[in-house]
Homo-oligomer: A and B are copies of this chain.
Amino acid sequence: MYNITFILTNPQMGENIGAAARAMANFGLKELRLVAPRDGWPSESAQAMSSGAFTHMHDVQVFPTLADALHDITFAYATTARPRDMVKDVFTPRQAARQTLSRTDTGKTAFVFGGERAGLGNDDVARCNAIITAPTNPDFSSLNLGQGVLMVAYELFMTAQEENIPPAEGTQHTPAPIKNFDNLFGRLEEKLDEGGFFRDEGLRPKITRNLRNTLMRAQLTEQEINTFHGVIRALSAPRS
């Protein structure tokens, strides 16, 4: 969707590469690069874990070093939870997504992820322009590789849509005109009367108002109002 690539440096388990690819494809990202994957490439376990994600992506490219993988990149984010003794901007995934999507140049952005064991080394981080640290519970902050990839991919997708997020789709739901509801409610009140519901006439206005208010919150559709007419009819049918 954008000129973006994800780079996994020294990934160990094929399963995690597969999970990362799946998360990328879920959010429309197509370009994955691997730096010296421990178990080689291609990988059957990556395929199995990906649920078919690779068919939605470009061919995976493999490089011997991070420097090689970054050869055509114009801006790289290193993802890491550990603070580094480096002068580098640190962003959340959301901030990085906003920054990336509002970039006006024609360059290519990389998101660089470390291996499962030790994450990114200082040298790797130093090759990148900025750091992404996901906000997490400080007492339990370790994310696995697939989850880290998911979070960044999700923010890119979500942020791209956000200015244009479609309104919450409650809209298939078209409430009936209030008049139809009034008919229903009048019927209910009549039947309640017959059943001796209003024992205290003084309380009738308040009780009726509350009941109406409650039912109106449901914002009934025409069809639902018809159903409720049936409900009242059935409930107030003569018992044998």
- Chain A residues near B (Cβ < 8 Å): 19, 22-23, 25-28, 51-53, 56, 87-92, 94-95, 134-137, 139-144, 146-147, 150-151, 154, 157-158, 161-162, 165, 168-170, 172-173, 188, 191-192, 194-197, 207, 210-211, 214-215, 217-221, 224, 227, 230-239
Contacts and interface: CB of A to CB of B under 8 A. Distances in A.
Nearest to A219: B217
Counted per complex, copies of this chain come to 2
A135 B162 CA distance: 10
A168 B90 contact: yes
B141 A26 contact: yes
13 contacts: A26-B140, A26-B142, A26-B143, A28-B137, A51-B142, A52-B140, A92-B158, A92-B162, A135-B157, A207-B227, A214-B227, A235-B236, A239-B239
Contact of A196 (B146, B192, B234): B234
Contact of A192 (B136, B168, B211, B235): B235
B87 A172 contact: yes
Nearest to A172: B87
A95 to B, nearest CB: 6
Given A194-B239, A239-B239, 14 more contacts: A26-B141, A27-B136, A28-B137, A87-B173, A88-B173, A89-B169, A89-B173, A95-B168, A135-B158, A136-B157, A147-B150, A188-B231, A214-B218, A236-B239
